[in-house]
Amino acid sequence: MKTNQDIRDAATAAGVRLWRIADALGITDGTLSRRLRHELPQDEKQQVLEVIQALEKEVS
């Protein structure tokens, strides 16, 4: 299983692309991809999941 699979699954389920998450976090998509290579600390993971939820509302 990939690292941060819960974030990847949440983004897919919400129909939110990783570059949109990165943009909302104020980082580049490459930076987000590099961060996702290793398991994120719980506080960062929660921040990303909150961004996904907010972006999902915009998409729907």
Tokens for 8? 């990847």
Which pLDDT tens digit goes with each residue over 26-56? Answer: 999 999 999 999 999 999 999 999 999 999 9
Residue 1: which pLDDT band, with cuts at 50, 70 and 90? confident
pLDDT mean over 2-12: 96
Instruction: Measure Cα distances from 45 to 4, 14, 51, 55, 60 in Å.
Output: 8, 16, 10, 15, 23
- Predicted confidence (pLDDT) at residue 11 exceeds the cutoff of 80: yes
Q: What is the pTM of this model?
A: 0.91
pLDDT at site 59: 77
- How is the chain split into domains, by residue range? 5-59
